[in-house]
Each structure stands twice: as C-alpha cells, then as structure tokens.
Amino acid sequence: MSQAPAGLINQILAGTPLAGLGIKPELVGKDIVIRLNEEQFKNIAFAKADERAKQLIQIKIHEGYIEVRIKLF
C-alpha cells in the first residue's frame, strides 16, 4: 500500500467529516482506503452531540458491523 497524493485526497475529502482529522488515506490499487479507529468514528458520527452525551456512547467495530451502545443510567 502506498500513500495517496495529498492534493487529490484534500479535494475529495473537502467538506466531509473526514477533512482535517489527520487520517492518512492509502492508495490501494485504484482505491483510496481510509481506516478509522473506534474513537475517530465516534467523533465523526456524534460530532454534533454535546460532551456529556458523548461520554455515554461506546463504539465497537467488529468484523462486518459497528456496535453503538448508549448508557441509559
């Protein structure tokens, strides 16, 4: 895998929640691959939630699905 050209990536990601996260996309064949860990995904998915709410949310990424748990009490 090689790192994708920065200018092209910036154009593609501009205006998306991925812009400015410091994630380094990779060029794999003819695809740009962006890998997110659980915390990065949580920050994107719940960017508009207040900090108190974010503390109640737990994200787990499994093979083939994402599990979101929100503590009620």
Domain ranges of the chain: 1-35, 36-73
What pLDDT is attached to residue 34?
Answer: 86
Residue with tokens 């740009």: 32
Helix residue ranges per DSSP H, 1-73: 6-13, 38-45, 51-55
For residues 26 and 4, which has the higher predicted lDDT (pLDDT)? 26
Q: For residue range 30-68, list pLDDT tens digits in order.
A: 888 888 888 888 888 888 899 898 899 999 998 889 999
Q: Collapse the DSSP code of 68 into the 3-class scheme (helix H, G, I; strand E, B; otherwise coil) and give the result.
A: strand
Contact 44, 17 (CB under 8 A): yes
Average pLDDT of the segment spanning 15-28:
78
Which of 20, 2, 47, 1 has the alpha carbon at shortest distance from 10? 20
